[in-house]
Amino acid sequence: MKYSGWPEPGELVVGRVDDIEDFGVFVDLLEYEDKRGLSHISEVASGWIKNVRDHVSEDQRVVAKVLDVDEDSQQIDLSLKDVNDHQRKDKIQEWKNEQKADNWMEIAFGEDLDGDRYAEIANTFLTEFGTLYDGFEQAAIHGEEALADTDLSDEDITAIVETARKNVSVPYVTVTGYVDLECPASGGVDVVREAMQAAEGNGDIPEEVDLEVTYVGSPEYRIEVKAPDYKTAESHLEESADRAAAVVSDHGGTAGYHRERHEDND
């Protein structure tokens, strides 16, 4: 995907060194249609520069900071030296992700997807999620719900979700906690079993969350939650423990929640 407009001052852009002159470097902006910028020799590297070619080479992929944009004169001023290694790495990864997402658009809607329709769908993603990649990632995690507030048709949403779930590697985190469940009353075993089922959510856990409850050793049970982020994982972990505790307490039993496994159960 290439943007048809202009970059903004302060924006980081990915480019390819197109031409090297004594006074600076011309850079073809890979994210923008027919846009080319110039990094003056003073912005190529810190300190005194004897030969620009000691710092860049033709066809080299670079990350530059946009210093100024003059649309009337079709001029974009860039700085190569104002980009640190961390920014460069993150920007390159973002650019690679957008290339992946561009390919996923073809998978979802076909290689003959015309420019206007592509732009309509892409602009929806950019408005809702910031990037094409983030839109596909959210579709992979949350399914149709992620796109419910957009103007996309049901058919488009289905195509996006199916493509996302087949192609996007969703990042997941895992958190673990433990509950001690005791119910000395008659039928206590059945109560604890009911508490475990409640901890597992009784089939009411969101699709993007994987929650598992396993027996460790009396009276301890482990709750393991995998989710797209720590906030979500921690929330479901605590809710799971609370559900189990509520069942046991309702039957006169006791329940305790802790994050570390009890050593005497090893």
Average pLDDT for 126-138: 92
Sequence letter at residue 149: D
pLDDT band at 259, cuts 50/70/90?
A: confident
Query: For residue 246, what pLDDT is reported?
Result: 94
| Domains identified in the chain and CATH numbers | 12-82 (2.40.50.140), 86-167 (1.10.150), 173-265 (3.30.70.1130)
Work out whether strand 12-21 and strand 36-40 pair parallel, antiparallel, or are unpaired. Answer: unpaired
pLDDT over 60 at 266, yes or no: no
Average pLDDT for 245-251: 91
Query: For residue 66, what pLDDT is reported?
Result: 97
pLDDT band at 265, cuts 50/70/90?
A: very low
pLDDT over 60 at 2, yes or no: yes
Our measurement of the distance from residue 206's CA atom to the centroid of its chain's CA atoms, rounded to an integer in Å, reads 18
Average pLDDT for 109-117: 86
Query: Between these two residues, 2 and 89, which has the higher pLDDT value?
Result: 89
Q: Rounded distance, CA 169 to CA 89, Å?
A: 19
At residue 31, the 3 state secondary structure works out as coil
pLDDT in tens, 192-218: 889 999 999 877 888 889 999 998 888
Query: For residue 4, what pLDDT is reported?
Result: 80
Query: For residue 261, what pLDDT is reported?
Result: 62
Q: What is the side-by-side strand order in the sheet with 254-258?
A: 210-217, 220-227, 173-182, 254-258
- Average pLDDT, rounded, for the chain: 90
Of the listed ranges 3-7, 78-82, 92-96, 233-237, the one predicted with least confidence:
3-7
Query: For residue 207, what pLDDT is reported?
Result: 81
Average pLDDT for 163-175: 88
